[in-house]
Amino acid sequence: MQYDVIIVGGGPAGIFAALELAEKAKVLLIEKGRIIEKRNCPMKERNVQCVQCKPCSITCGWGGAGAFSDGKLTISTEVGGHLDEYIGETKLKNLVDEVDRVYLNYGAPEKLYTVDRKRLEQFKRDATKADLHLEYSPIRHLGTGRSQAVLLAMKDELIKRGVEIKTSLTVKRILIKDEKVTGVETDNGDFFAPKVIVAPGREGHNWFTKEASRLGLESDINPVDIGVRVELPKVIMEHLTDHLFESKYIYYSKTFEDKVRTFCMCPGGEVVAENNSGLITVNGHTHAERTTENTNFAILVSKNFTEPFKDPTKYGQYISTLANLLGGGVLVQRLGDLLDGRRSTHDRIAKSITRQTLTNATPGDLSLVFPYRHLVDILEMLQALDKVAPGVYSRSTLLYGAEVKFYSSRVKVSKNLETAIKGLYAIGDGAGITRGLMQASCSGIIAARNIIE
Ligand SMILES: Cc1cc2nc3c(=O)[nH]c(=O)nc-3n(C[C@H](O)[C@H](O)[C@H](O)COP(=O)(O)OP(=O)(O)OC[C@H]3O[C@@H](n4cnc5c(N)ncnc54)[C@H](O)[C@@H]3O)c2cc1C
């Protein structure tokens, strides 16, 4: 029961911390979800609505939220988290390259989506003319399916190198004595270590926020991103996705000056539902081996609140609850129906030239879910995108809702990601410090190296 380091969470952040610490310390990694081979989702396998498995196999288990993720590794310091604020741009750049090499060693594909300067300038010119800003980053696409193989290979390596891994075990409390961490309490006994790295991901965010507050740790509020998943025939965006894979566009809406952006573009992909602590929201992925005739991506509106309301997460939960209330899960609507002020039905969706890939989404009316402000922002963004990819603003374009990105409150940590409690580190998406595979993985290395030092 006595270790040098305990890691809470078996997502990319926890796994990269363990890879760094293996053979240098006696390490225990605790993960509340199942082993990867047993992470089965009835929604995907039987095409039914979410049956609220506990724990959810999509977000929990070996590999974390990343296991069934699209696995787009963004080779950039500018997106996917705030690590540059802790270690600086140059160190982060080196770490990003290092993490990329680790993924390659464990089976990530060699192909990197990049574009030459001339083509990039053309894309940027086209974007400017449409009032859009194009953010460019090279992408390595693992693909759903291959992500799991990579994560399995990492697990085998960790076991070989002596890291103890316990799955289906939940950490309930962080144990502290005299302002220092001493271990963790789980639903099956206590485990002790002078260093604890907490990497609970979005799934463990609520738990960690409560623990942080019980332990008197300070945190900042992150905004919430709310929007829709857009699905259309892949030919419409092929001139962009063939080169960039993902094109990240930013737009400031004319009506409200809100920041609106595209996110998680999945060429040849499928729209999927996911369980966010009981709320069914929408997402997307591209499989490594099979493709569809569609491309999907999110359009997200970033929103922060000041006074007296200061809880963006609750606001996002409220919007998702409305969609779930009306549709029993995810709602889908043709853009044409939304513009005509009527709900979509199965018959109307069947007339769309876009084939719906999330077949258990309920045809409905998104104007009953989103506030006016969000709807206007989304429609303006679709019109702007139509200028760089004609066909986006087609009546057949499908919109799924709600897509909500809940970002965890950001816990105050040092540049080594250690909290105010000695020996307690907080990393990854669950600590509000990162928002993607690449930086989550980097954060694990930062904490582990500080412990080794
Ligand atoms: C459908 C989908 C697609 C995505 N696509 C991409 C993509 O293409 N590119 C990209 O960069 N990012 C993507 N992401 C985001 C990416 O998966 C996350 O940013 C990343 O997994 C965060 O890593 P993490 O280790 O911080 O947290 P997670 O991966 O969430 O792992 C945290 C783990 O901690 C466990 N845990 C939580 N609380 C406890 C507890 N109390 N006790 C024990 N264990 C606990 C959880 O079960 C979970 O397995 C996607 C996410 C989803 C859901």
In the chain, where are the structural domains located?
A: 5-112+141-220+409-452, 223-406
Judged on CB neighbours under 10 Å (0-12, 13-18, 19+), 54 is: exposed
In a mutational test of the pocket of ligand 1, which residue from 36, 69, 184, 300 has the highest number of ligand atoms less than 8 Å from its CB?
A: 69
Q: 442 vs 63, 100, 107, 298, 364, CA distance in Å?
A: 15, 10, 18, 25, 41
Q: H/E element holding 227?
A: strand 224-233
Closest CA to 241 of 115, 379, 387, 130: 115
Q: 178-216 pLDDT, tens per residue?
A: 999 999 999 999 999 999 999 999 889 889 999 999 999
Q: Identify the residue whose C-alpha is closest to ligand 1 atom 12.
A: 436
Q: So what's the architecture of 5-112+141-220+409-452 in CATH?
A: 3-Layer(bba) Sandwich (3.50)
Whether the predicted pLDDT of 294 surpasses 90: yes
Best mutation site among 44, 53, 70 for ligand 1 pocket (most ligand atoms within 8 Å of CB): 70
Q: How far is the CA of 430 from the centre of ligand 1 (A)?
A: 8
Q: Determine how many CB atoms are found less than 10 A away from the CB of residue 149.
A: 16
Mean pLDDT (whole number) for 389-412: 93
**What's the whole-number mean pLDDT along residues 75-103?**
95
Instruction: Tokens for 152, please give them.
Output: 């399995």
CA proximity to 284, closest of 225, 216, 356, 354 = 356
Q: What confidence tens digit (pLDDT) does each residue in 24-55 have?
A: 999 999 999 999 888 887 776 666 767 778 88
Residue 319 carries which side chain, given as an amino acid letter? Answer: I
Highest mean pLDDT among 42-56, 194-208, 371-385, 402-416: 371-385
Q: What local confidence, expressed as pLDDT, does residue 47 receive?
A: 67
Average pLDDT taken over every residue of the chain: 93
Q: Are 83 and 442 in contact (CB under 8 A)?
A: yes
How far apart are the CA of 202 and the centre of ligand 1, in A?
6
Say what the pLDDT of residue 155 is: 97
Q: Who lines ligand 1 at CB under 6 A? A: 8-14, 30-33, 60-61, 64-66, 69-72, 74, 80, 170-171, 199-204, 207, 264, 274, 283, 285, 428-430, 435-438, 440
**Residues forming beta bridges with residue 404, ordered by sequence position:** 226
The sign of the dihedral angle between the CA atoms of 282, 283, 286, 288 is negative
* Substitution site in 7, 30, 31 for ligand 1 pocket (most atoms within 8 Å of beta carbon): 31
pLDDT of residue 287: 82
Q: How far is the CA of 323 from the centre of ligand 1 (A)?
A: 23
Phi-psi region of 79 (alpha: psi -120 to 50; beta: other; left: phi over 0): beta
Q: Which atom of ligand 1 is nearest to the CA of 30?
A: 43
A 10 A CB-CB count for 225 gives: 23
Query: pLDDT-based confidence at 58, cuts 50/70/90?
Result: confident
Indicate which residue's Cα is closest to atom 15 of ligand 1: 436
Question: What is the mean predicted confidence (pLDDT) over 127-141?
Answer: 94
Percent residues over pLDDT 70 in the chain: 99
Q: Which atom of ligand 1 approaches the CA of 284 most closely? A: 1
Ligand 1 pocket test: pick from 6, 7, 43, 60 the residue with the most ligand atoms within 8 Å of its Cβ. 60
Q: What percent of the chain has pLDDT over 90?
A: 79
How would you classify residue 161: left for phi > 0, otherwise alpha for psi between -120 and 50, otherwise beta? alpha
